[in-house]
Structure 1
Amino acid sequence: MNKEAKIYIAGHRGMVGSAIWRALQAKGYTNLVGQTSKELDLRDQKSVTDFITKEKPDCMINAAAKVGGILANNNYPYQFIMENLQIQNNLIDQAHKQGISKFIFLGSSCIYPKFAPQPLKEEYLLTDSLEPTNEWYAIAKIAGVKACEAIRKQYQKDFVSLMPTNLYGTHDNFDLKTSHVLPAMIRKFHDAKENGHSTVTLWGSGTPMREFLFVDDMAASVVFALENTLPDHLYNVGTGSDLTIKDLAELIQKAVGHQGNIEWDASKPDGTPKKLMDSSKLNKIGWQPDVSLEEGIAKTYDWFLKNQQSFKEVQIN
């Protein structure tokens, strides 16, 4: 990949997109393009068409999405399916129509069935029903994966889908109404510590198993996909190890320095009981994660402390 190639990163201000931007800059790429959601509404077909026609990027990376945790997915199902379909359809279609040969689509491990065998392999896609609490988002992302596969099959273009496990890290969303489990825990434990080490109440039973990947490792996988011609259309991106939500809470509690009690609200949903990715397909061709969970949590909390005064509810594109 030429270091002067024009690379458009959709969602470049989000946690994942900004990590990709930093990773590409660190490797010497000099022609990166990004637009904020105020500058370019990715849900609007004409706006996206005009932008891609004008910029004519050599490569496109779709890190833009409407994202959130169980609460947000439950409360806003229409927005989660429709806005994500609009965003990715506009980007994928324009990449194809404008002759862009390299497109990287980012999805989520929630595309796989709720009770699929563990660890999750790429071939388990569409073999059973989804987790009901986030099926709206999952269905949109599955459509994106299949659209990229169709273009690859019909037009022989290098369109690749990367499906990360649960991501976390610097520039994450710490709004308790819309955030994912790990940043939400950091926020809750920090606020409780500031409030005299008060009790922290967490959703569910604490027994589900989850895998977490530091966002800089995800960015490295995108750079790897950008710089290499991958032989298949779909790859899982994860660490290959998981832990219970209870163990995660205790790790975060220790990192934050909270000394109060933890209570579990079993009336709230747990979600999928176990979700571990099999990332061996990507591992075998050259990508491996570098950041341990303990190190990643420490880096994330440090960033949180330095930036907490600027936090506000995040709505990505």
Structure 2
Amino acid sequence: MEKGQKIYIAGHRGMVGSAILRKLEVEGFFNLVVKTSAELDLRNQQAVADFFASEKPDYVFLAAAKVGGILANSTYKADFIYENLAIQMNVIHQSYVHGVKKLMFLGSSCIYPKMAPQPLKEEYLLTGLLEPTNEPYAIAKIAGIKMCEAYREQYGCNFISVMPTNLYGYGDNYHPQNAHVLPALIRKFHEAKVNSASEVIILGTGSPKREFLFSDDLANACFFLMQNYNESSFINIGTGSDVSIKDLALLIQKVIGFEGNLVFDTSKPDGTPRKLMDVSKLHAKGWKHQIELEEGIKLVYEDFKTNYV
């Protein structure tokens, strides 16, 4: 990518897209195209076709998606599969039609089978059944990967896919029902501290293990791979280490300074027992994360207090 080339960041208001936008600006890229969902509905085929016809971007980061935690995924299954399929189908196809030099599609670690061996290697895709709670979202993301592979094979498009692990960062979603586990816990512990509560209730047993990557680290990896990765197979982006939900809660409790008790509501589902990415392929390419979990939690807690309280 050259500094003056036109780059479209789909989903620039989301946590991932905004981090990619910041990274590109820091690196000196100035011909950046962004549209809010009100300005451009990516689910609308004609609107996306018109946008690509008029803007003709050189590069595309496809970070737009409908996302949410276990509860949202379980409740809005039709919305998750329809909206994500529509967004991907429109953006990927129009990128081909209008000769985009390179597109990066961002997926999710939930594409892997529920009981896949750990850590998750790229070749484990489609080797078993998915986690039922987020199956529609996962199927949409798998379709995005396969679309990029098919357009590369049939039309010679340089479309690549990356699979980030669980993310957190600036501009995260702290909604009480729809947030992912880390921001949801930050909100819970903060409110418990402010209200002098005696306990915080954690959904599930606390035993599942999860890997967490700071969104700015993901943006750095995406920038690196856009410059250096041109293979048809997708590539995992993560830290290569994980933590139990219980230990995550204890770490957030420590950062926030909540002095009450933790209570685990074991009537609630745990989701996948473990989701650790194998990042050996990424490390072999020469990229590694910089921000460790405790440092990252401190950064986002300051962001939460500034922008969400």
TM-score bucket of the superposed structures, by smaller chain: over 0.9
**Long gaps (5+) in structure 1:** 310-317
Partner of 1:186: 186
Q: Could you tell me how far 1:117 is from its partner in structure 2?
A: 0.5
- Equivalent pairs counted in the alignment come to 309
Counterpart residue type for residue 165 of structure 2: T
Deviations 1:89-148 (A, max 9, x none): 000000011111200000100000000010000000001000000001000000000000
1:224-254, Cα deviation, whole Å (9 max, x unpaired):
1222243343000000000100000000011
The answer to whether the 8 A contact 1:48-1:94 is kept is yes
Match of 1:38 in 2: 38
Conserved in 2, the CA contact under 8 Å of 1:84 and 1:141?
Answer: yes
- What residue number does 1:301 align with? 301
1:203 maps to: 203
| Alpha-carbon RMSD | 0.8
1:273-288 map, 5 Å: 273-288=273-288
Q: Does 1:148 align with 2:154?
A: no
Counterparts of 2:49 and 2:43, CA distance in 1: 11
Q: Distance in 2 between matches of 1:58 and 1:198?
A: 55
Tell me the secondary structure at the aligned position of residue 304 of structure 1: helix
Give the deviation of 1:287 after TM superposition.
Answer: 1.4
What amino acid sits opposite 1:117 in the alignment? P
Three-state SS of the structure 2 residue aligned to 1:23 is helix
**1:215 is aligned to 2:215:** yes
TM-score (norm 2): 0.98
Q: Is the 8 A contact 1:152 1:233 kept in 2?
A: no
1:175-207, Cα deviation, whole Å (9 max, x unpaired): 011110000000000000011143111110000
Could you tell me which residue of structure 2 aligns to residue 74 of structure 1? 74
Partner of 1:312: none
Contact kept in structure 2, 1:161 and 1:233, CA below 8 Å: yes
CA distance in 1, matches of 2:232, 2:210: 26
Structure 1 distance, partners of 2:187, 2:90, is 34
1:291 aligned partner: 291
Check conservation: 1:148, 1:233, Cα contact below 8 A.
Answer: no
Q: What secondary structure, in the 3-state scheme, does the structure 1 residue paired with 2:61 have?
A: strand
Q: Distance in 1 between matches of 2:84 and 2:56?
A: 23
Q: Distance in 2 between matches of 1:284 and 1:154?
A: 28
Matches within 5 A, 1:126-137: 126-137=126-137
Give how far 1:77 is off. Answer: 0.3
- 1:308 and 1:193 map into 2 onto residues whose CA distance is 15
Q: Counterparts of 2:99 and 2:5 in 1: how far apart (Å)?
A: 15
Partner-residue secondary structure (3-state), 1:202: strand
Partner SS, residue 123 of structure 1: helix
The one-letter code matched in structure 1 to 2:281 is: K
- In the alignment, which residue of structure 2 is the partner of 1:256? 256
Could you report, residue by residue, the CA deviation over 1:36-69 in whole angstroms, capped at 9, with x for unpaired residues? Answer: 0111111100111101110000001110000000
Q: Secondary structure at the match of 1:179?
A: coil
1:16 corresponding residue in structure 2: 16
Matched with 1:313 is none
- In structure 1, what is the Cα distance between the partners aligned to 2:148 and 2:232? 11
Offset, 1:286: 1.7
Counterpart Cα distance in 1 of 2:197 and 2:247:
19
CA distance in 2, matches of 1:143, 1:219: 23
| TM-score, scaled relative to structure 1 | 0.96
For 2:36 and 2:70, the matched residues in 1 are separated by 26
> 2 CA distance for matches of 1:278 and 1:28?
32
Q: Is the 8 A contact 1:214 1:291 kept in 2?
A: yes
1:111 aligns with 2:111: yes
Secondary structure class of the residue paired with 2:160: strand
Match of 2:100 in 1: 100
Which residue identity is paired with 1:182?
L
